[in-house]
Amino acid sequence: MTTLPYITLNTDWRCDYFELEPSLYEFMDGFDVPVLQSWAFDRRMTEGWAAWLQRKFDVPPIEDVCVNFVLHIKSAPPGTQLILNGSDFGAIPTPFLFDVTDYITLEDNLIAFRVPCEAGGAFGDVRLRVVPCASPLD
């Protein structure tokens, strides 16, 4: 059996803090987060503030085989909200495992997390797994 690739989404994030909801396509004057697992909420931000982290990515074409794309998030701070290409998944439980095939494209994907100020915890591994169409999620 051939092992299909996965796309790691652990690096190259941007972060900014907002009192109000930003437009996902307007913001990001913030700062780089080279490794998502090293990010921690800036405790100088008070109640009502949220951190927005976002990352753009492309999906390489997989030829001659039917595949699905499964987003796997090992852990995230409690209350973390997931937005993928404008689709709001709300606050996600972790570990999070969801078939996102219908939500992504080959190019210009945008994944974002909204983390409320009161959240503790940290991010774990975030990856997009490539699975054969007939496979179960796990």
pLDDT digits (tens, 9 = 90+) for 48-98: 788 999 999 999 877 778 889 999 999 999 999 999 999 999 999 999 999
- Whether 104 is in a domain gets the answer yes
Tens digits of residue pLDDT in 12-54:
999 988 876 655 545 557 889 999 999 988 777 777 788 999 9
pLDDT band at 1 (very low <50, low <70, confident <90, very high): very low
Please answer whether residues 80 and 89 qualify as being in contact, where contact means their C-beta atoms are separated by less than 8 angstroms.
Answer: no
Q: At 106, phi and psi to the nearest 5? A: -70, -30
49 or 100: which carries more pLDDT confidence?
A: 100
What three-state secondary structure class fits 103?
Answer: helix
Sort residue 102 into left (φ over 0), alpha (ψ -120 to 50) or beta: alpha
For residue 61, the model assigns a pLDDT of: 79
Tokens of residue 69, six digits: 């794309």
- Whether 32 is in a domain gets the answer yes
Which position has the token pair 């490794």? 35
* Structural domain span for residue 20: 6-132
- Whether 1 is in a domain gets the answer no
Residue 81 corresponds to which amino acid? Q
- Whether 20 is in a domain gets the answer yes
Tokens of residue 50, six digits: 């949220």
- Whether 137 is in a domain gets the answer no
Run of H or E residues at 96 = strand 96-99
What is the model's pTM?
0.86
Q: Residue 20: which CATH number?
A: 2.60.120.260
d(CA 24, CA 34): 19
